Amino acid sequence: MAGVDVRDYDLKALRNQVAMVLQKNVLFSGTIKENLRWGKENATDEEMIRACKQAQADEFINSFPDGYDTYIEQGGTNVSGGQKQRICIARALLKKPKILILDDSTSAVDTKTDSLIRKAFKEDIPDTTKIIIAQRISSVEDADKIIVLDNGEINGIGTHEELMNSNEIYRDVYTSQMKGGDEIQK
């Protein structure tokens, strides 16, 4: 429905086209499969495994004695923050959204895992619009457009290269992160 004012969409239809993954997402008490199916009620095992592979969650899930049938405590207290984030990313991917909003949703994973998740996004869901909110520059440096905020105000807009040349805040953050060892693993 290109060219249609978003206010003219059916609200339920619009919500079904958007998935959001927050820095602190909620997992429910139940199995990993049951948590994943919050993204898509009738997801097959194959769809869940594919989404978990994209989210870099399949390997750690399979390391659990019960795999995808592992019971998650209320709030996900029996998995790490990074594992929780990756399960929530997989749950969002199962929805096959037109728009995927990621709000610092890889903050608890290392830069290599973050890079692998972004690679999967680029290769496996190229037509999905991805809005990534991040403090880690390596999480956004391949984006088509980066918006730099300073105290809630837009300070710069551009590609990584454009901002490196024109935006002092972006350049300073990049330099401090690279010196801090937060360099992306390619």
Q: Judge if 45 and 109 occupy the same domain.
A: yes
What is the reported pTM?
Answer: 0.86
Helix ranges restricted to H, 67-145:
81-94, 111-124
* Chain segment 80-100, per-residue pLDDT in tens: 999 999 999 999 999 999 999
Confidence band of 185 (pLDDT split at 50, 70, 90): very low
Q: How far is CA 109 from CA 82, 85, 105, 116, 162, in A?
A: 5, 8, 9, 11, 27
For the domain that residue 76 is a member of, what is the CATH number?
3.40.50.300
Domain of 50 in residue numbering reads as 10-136
In a domain, 157, yes or no: yes
- 181 or 114: which carries more pLDDT confidence? 114
Give the tokens for residue 78: 């029996």
Chain centroid offset of residue 168 CA: 27
Residue 20 falls within a domain, yes or no? Answer: yes
CA distance 83 to 88: 9
Instruction: State residue 181's pLDDT score.
Output: 52
Give 180's pLDDT tier (boundaries 50, 70, 90): low
> pLDDT digits over 152-163, tens only?
999 999 999 999
Task: Tell me the helices (H) and strands (E) count for the chain, helix number first.
Answer: 8, 7
Overall number of domains in the chain? 2
- Picking from 80, 76, 63, the residue whose alpha carbon sits closest to that of residue 34 is 76
Q: At which of 136, 153, 169 does a domain end?
A: 136
Domain shared by 33 and 124, yes or no = yes
Radius of gyration (C-alpha) of the chain in whole angstroms: 18
Domain contains 123 = yes
Q: Please state, in angstroms and rounded to a whole number, the distance separating the CA atoms of residues 94 and 44.
A: 10
3 occurs within a structural domain: no
Chain-wide mean pLDDT for the chain?
Answer: 91
The torsion angles phi and psi of 92, rounded to 5 degrees, stand at -65, -40
